[in-house]
A and B are shown apart, each in its own frame.
Chain A
């Protein structure tokens, strides 16, 4: 009998696993997909909101495409219970699916601030496609939009909201913008930059309630004046979709604990993406990296292992990049490691900021701000990522970078970083493109 692979979740991790399995076996195994939604990329929803792409562009696999991959898809269904002893998954409609091996890649859901009125009409999350459609229908030119939360997800929405000519106010409970992505100095630069584009910002603001106010929404705070809004967008965090695994016996810590092959505590059950607690490339410690690149790499590694290969994963590198009003903001690795040796420098006239973090002679993290028209910004984002990924001792180049954090290239090249990186592949072979979904 053909091996039956069960993929629970049709997001980035699940789709990458499916494609990797098929790249290996060309259709010999059975693949069953359970996905609450038709597969699409959450990453590109902001571009749909900003009208730079059509809704059709967000899909990562059409039904025809899934059929071509010989996937039996249960779309619109959710996993209800997993019985690892019997190798069976039960869906929310009672369907029972037996498997030989199973991938749990159920992703995350948006969480709203726990205040009265947070679930009332006119308050939106922007995480799923239906939620995105709701926001698209609500925002008009001149709408006053209050964005609650100033994290990465909120920031991916800024350009789109401004492109729709909304008047924007950002409120954040932490004392700074992007508190889990950049430090205070960087956040102050971002704040100044955004104010120039007419964005109002209130940090250190604790929302206490959202009330109806004659067709508008009134936001109340612990301190300071109320805000009136035509629409409220909540980007106050995400939570991994793990509740359904209670009682399954799968070991869950901050996420599903996985080994370097992305196997859970049950050998034929894998986990990937936002629900997985796997290795961090920089620290070698377990971590949950709820980011697109980790979901992609996890998915590919699981796919290869499900298909019978023996692929150990070196770990995921935390990284985030977002561009707002032509300012690039990026951080990766141990950018906020309090035990690391940090070197920072600014070029205020170019809105540029760099922070490099060291453990010994090894670069373990970095933070970069700069105008996206400045070619050095992207150049250095990549090279700093390369230095962290290569993990090499930089010897005398550490001193160079300490003194000249804007002069990355000679250090990158002379340290032989390219030679260290070229043999690195995730799956031990050249990657295969999947191509766009037409």
Chain B
């Protein structure tokens, strides 16, 4: 299956992926509704986008009491809006923090790989997000761990990194 491969070293933090994602997912440019989220590291000197890894277990999918989460033809776990009742079980079952809840529509929402043409990958100007045939993986762990000592140092100094 094709997955979103993240190459964090290439990310410039331009947030175009969040804009593109929210536009395709909701019809409006609102990063707060984006399901790919750019995380800053080392006091905003480096960045990396983070999104649903489309894990094998599908914790969201199995948790749903009404079968409202299923597999799309491209292998993404997707929420069927007309079935979702908004109970939020999926949001606590997902150990990656990558399924969200819209209080306006009272539905869960998540990355559906845009039906096979992920807007984030197309919008990324530096190819930090690629949509390729690969096994899903922890794309960010090593990158973040390398930057960890500096992050903690800044935190201890009270720099208020987020």
Contacts and interface: CB of A to CB of B under 8 A. Distances in A.
A293 B144 contact: no
B96 A404 contact: no
Contacts of B86: 47, 52
A43 B141 contact: no
A323 B90 CA distance: 13
B97 A410 contact: no
A44 B87 contact: yes
Contacts of A322: 88
Interface in B63-83: 63, 65-71, 80, 83
B97 A380 contact: yes
Nearest to A384: B97
Interface string B124-140: 00000000000011101
Nearest to A379: B97
A414 B162 CA distance: 14
A350 to B, nearest CB: 14
Nearest to A383: B97
A190 B29 CA distance: 33
B28 interface: no
A419 B138 contact: yes
B138 A435 contact: no
Interface footprint category on A:
35 or more
A37 to B, nearest CB: 15
A53 B39 contact: no
A401 to B, nearest CB: 10
Contact of A382 (B53, B70, B97, B142): B97
B156 A385 contact: no
Given A413-B144, A416-B145, A431-B62, 11 more contacts: A57-B85, A300-B62, A321-B88, A322-B88, A323-B88, A378-B99, A400-B155, A409-B50, A431-B57, A433-B58, A433-B69
Interface of A: 12, 41, 43-44, 47, 52-53, 57, 60, 292-293, 296-297, 300, 319-323, 326, 328, 330, 332, 372-373, 375, 378-383, 385-386, 389-390, 396-397, 399-400, 403-404, 407-410, 412-419, 421-422, 424-426, 429-431, 433-437
